[in-house]
Structure 1
Amino acid sequence: MRSLFYSFFVPALFVWLWSTGFIGAKYGLPYAEPFTLLLIRMVLTLVLLMGLAWVLKTRWPGWRGAGHLAVTGLLVHGCYLGGVYYAIQGGMPSGIISLIVGLQPLVTTAAAVLVLKESVTGRQWLGLAFGLVGVTLVLLEKLAGVGGDASGFPLWTLLWALLSLSGISLGTVYQKRHGTGADLVAGTMIQYGAAALFFAVGAFGFETREVEWALPLQLSMAWLVLGVSIGAILLLMWLIRQGAASQVASLFYLVPPVTALEAFWLFDERLGVLAMVGGGISITGVALVVTRRAGR
């Protein structure tokens, strides 16, 4: 029972916390612009992490390591979150953006082949093909109205979704190539700090920075900071210490369907038959790649 708790329930909780980030964004975006909302989230998170770093007597990396962590933060948090938030604000359903960025393991594998010269197995190539076919079916239904579905979204939101997918994929490859082995709290703070600067430039350069502190925004902000930015990271720390971090990777492909169910229940976001089939194919493709990587 104890091993089952370590190997399944805790990693599943981490994946659930991650999936709620898309839901929290949709709750908060009507009351603040994307970069403004993200800037507030990062600042609050950094304040809390500073206290945690003081309690844990965190060891800080050198300037070179900090620079690599900052680049990773700009990609994994800055581009990824910025793209997700602007796509959702533009009208893309939470389940769709979750599915698109859920292709990250596929894109990371392709990038690793080009950048790190890694070899790819036949199973991984099959996973890549499944992922692309599945997302194509989902987008075909939503954008072309196949099957009588008229609940589309603006085409330009795909650009933000692709920015998000590219950011987290390239950031993962960069982290793998320039990993510093830094303390997790210190590394997270540096990454969040770099992302906060990125969001500050966007908020002060392109947004009005007007915030309506309504109750839904306060609740979503509290959850995004405590549940996602802090809770998920602390849970990841615990998993790493228990040696179960690989289980997180093997469960990540469950994020899109969990997000889709949450969005259906909370926002009545519906997927037609073609989109559900496409989503299933994409998730299968990601599973083929991720489970192979976890097995290694």
Structure 2
Amino acid sequence: MPRSHVALACLVAIFWGLNFLAIHASLEQFPPLFLVALRFTLMALPALLFVPRPQVPLRWLVGYGLGFGTLQFLGLYSGMAAGFPTGLASLVLQASAPFTVLLGAVLLRERLTARRALGIGVAVAGLVLVGISRGGAGAWWPFWLVVLGAFGWAIGNISSRLAAPPRPLELTMWMAIVPPIPMLALSLLLEGPRRITDSLADSLTAQAVPAWIGLAYTIVFGTIVGSGIWVWLMTKHPAGVVAPFSMLVPVVGITAAWLVLGESPHLLEIIGGALVVGGVLWSGRLVAARGAADPAGPVDVGDPGASAHAVEPAAR
């Protein structure tokens, strides 16, 4: 990847790392499933009114909306609402990177080098340590909800790559039309109308201002700006090259949660987090070095355009 693209990937990691504080603030006011529906409803309305429909196959638009928009945040918000720590959630969600690399190898025929496989294996071992630590504290269920969210993110990564939108921001905005209806239905079924109406009634008080600020940050920087840049990078480079940069998100997220919320991870969680970040940096170093030497891109993963067309030649 060119240095400018690396800088953009790091900027997205900062946006997304701070996004966990914003989500925490919003969950203090709204139930999790309804919050997902509210978030994407507020995005879908301007998208339908002012943003042209992206020129991509409908199946990849829906796949991106179901993966990135619906499944990811259903798992993440539910896990955090169930008590999973904010900073640690930013780490566990990065299981999307190994999920994306594996899906890219299976579905997009992207080459999985031995170095990358070793790095991803180390990262997965780190996630296992985090899971063991949280399971010992009686928190298996919230942990697996966040892992489910990570798998949804990976599905979104692959769908956006196969969509290859000429204008990524249009795809980012239009995928917001997918989550509201299923998430609102789930919210009504599982959280109940009373809980929803109570949260909305209380949202007009001064105490709810941080929740609305958090929701605004999540929409603007967490989704529109951050995801727009991310989708654009996914169209320019193989999924296995871009996805590992998401491992920088927990560095920001855990640090921010420690400074703002006073969260302190346990020793086993710190070791697991170090393995996660270290494994991804190890697997990506060779790619970055070769990409810098060859302006055409990283040579060990193949041509990103070729890999996408190999799966679905009639996609565009």
Q: Which TM-score applies when normalising by structure 1?
A: 0.81
Distance of 1:101 and 1:293 partners within structure 2: 23
CA 8–163 in structure 1, closer or farther in 2 if over 3 Å, else same: closer
Distance of 1:68 and 1:218 partners within structure 2: 31
- Residue 187 of structure 1 deviates from its aligned partner by 1.5
Aligned residue number for residue 44 of structure 1:
42
Amino acid at match of 1:72: Y
Aligned residue number for residue 68 of structure 1:
60
Q: CA RMSD in A?
A: 2.9
Distance of 1:227 and 1:190 partners within structure 2: 16
Unaligned runs of 5+ in 1: 145-151
Distance of 1:52 and 1:236 partners within structure 2: 22
How many residue pairs match? The answer is: 276
Distance of 2:251 and 2:170 partners within structure 1: 32
Aligned residue number for residue 302 of structure 2:
none
Amino acid at match of 1:191: M
**Aligned: 1:172 with 2:157:** yes
Aligned residue number for residue 167 of structure 2:
183
Unaligned runs of 5+ in 2: 292-297, 299-316
Between the two proteins, what is the percent identity of the paired residues? 20
Aligned residue number for residue 133 of structure 2:
141
Amino acid at match of 1:26: H
- Residue 264 of structure 1 deviates from its aligned partner by 0.8
Residue deviations 1:40-76, cap 9 Å, x none? 11111223445652xxxx36436xx123211221011
Residue deviations 1:114-168, cap 9 Å, x none? 3344432111121122012212222333332xxxxxxx35221123122112211
CA 154–233 in structure 1, closer or farther in 2 if over 3 Å, else same: closer
Aligned residue number for residue 271 of structure 2:
277
Aligned residue number for residue 201 of structure 1:
185
**What are the equivalent positions in structure 2 for 1:1-296 lying under 5 Å apart?**
6=4, 10-50=8-48, 53=51, 58=52, 60-61=54-55, 65-144=57-136, 152=137, 154-176=139-161, 178-208=162-192, 209-210=196-197, 211=199, 212-213=202-203, 214-233=208-227, 251-291=245-285, 295=291, 296=298
Distance of 1:164 and 1:117 partners within structure 2: 24
CA 48–233 in structure 1, closer or farther in 2 if over 3 Å, else same: farther
